Amino acid sequence: MKKIVVMLCTLMIAASGTFYTAVAQEMTPEERAAAAVDTRKSLFKMLLFNLGPIAGMARGAEFDAEVAERNARRIAVMATMIPEVLATDTSAFDDIETTALDSIWSNQDDIAVKAQALIDNANAFADAAATGERSAALRTFQAFGSTCGNCHDEYRVDD
């Protein structure tokens, strides 16, 4: 039984590998860049999706320690992907809609530092939220929330 499961898993991994390679090979460089932009926007949208309820609590909505901690931990985990989704230089294609500034491609070390700041501040907020004390959590919110803007100020088109 175990052997069969292992065999099936191996087959599935091999099949998905083939599929991924085939798809990647069929894409033009522009399509690949568009997909990379799509992926990074999706990650940032999910960050906002999780930050939303927390920001609402900071603005006076009822404090829910469980949701606050859960969403902040999610953000901390997702933020580990930021350097990866901001690693592909997509500047060669003018038709792709993006607000990412080209300075990103030559400042990967700083992107990693800013992503790490988000991870640390999100976890600090989650730790404070876990105490169940609204005031303790909100004291750490300022640092947490501003981590998003700190990167946008430097690496995103001003709107």
As measured in angstroms, the least distance from the Cβ of 60 to ligand HEC is 19
Interface positions, 52-111, toward ligand HEC (CB under 6 A): 75, 82, 86, 98-100, 104, 111
Q: Using the rule CB under 6 A, which residue among 34, 51, 72, 129 binds ligand HEC?
A: 51
Decide: is 128 part of the binding site for ligand HEC (CB under 6 A).
no
CA separation (Å) from 147 to 12, 50, 76, 123, 134?
A: 40, 14, 12, 12, 20
Residue 72, token pair as written in the block:
């902040």
Site string for ligand HEC, 7-46 (x = CB under 6 A): ------------------------------x--xx--xx-
Residue 41 class from Cβ within 10 Å (0-12 exposed, 13-18 middle, 19+ buried)?
middle
**What CA–CA distance (Å, rounded) separates 61 from 144?**
18
Decide: is 139 part of the binding site for ligand HEC (CB under 6 A).
no
Query: For ligand HEC, which is the closer residue by CB, 26 or 159?
Result: 159
Phi, psi of 115 (to 5 degrees): -65, -40
As measured in angstroms, the least distance from the Cβ of 25 to ligand HEC is 24
Phi, psi of 59 (to 5 degrees): -90, 0
Are 156 and 99 in contact by the 8 Å Cβ rule? The answer is yes
CA triple 71-76-79, angle to 5 deg: 120
Q: Using the rule CB under 6 A, which residue among 33, 54, 76, 115 binds ligand HEC?
A: 115
Query: For ligand HEC, which is the closer residue by CB, 115 or 137?
Result: 115
Residues that bind ligand HEC (CB under 6 A): 37, 40-41, 44-45, 47-48, 51, 75, 82, 86, 98-100, 104, 111, 114-115, 118, 147-148, 151-152, 155-156
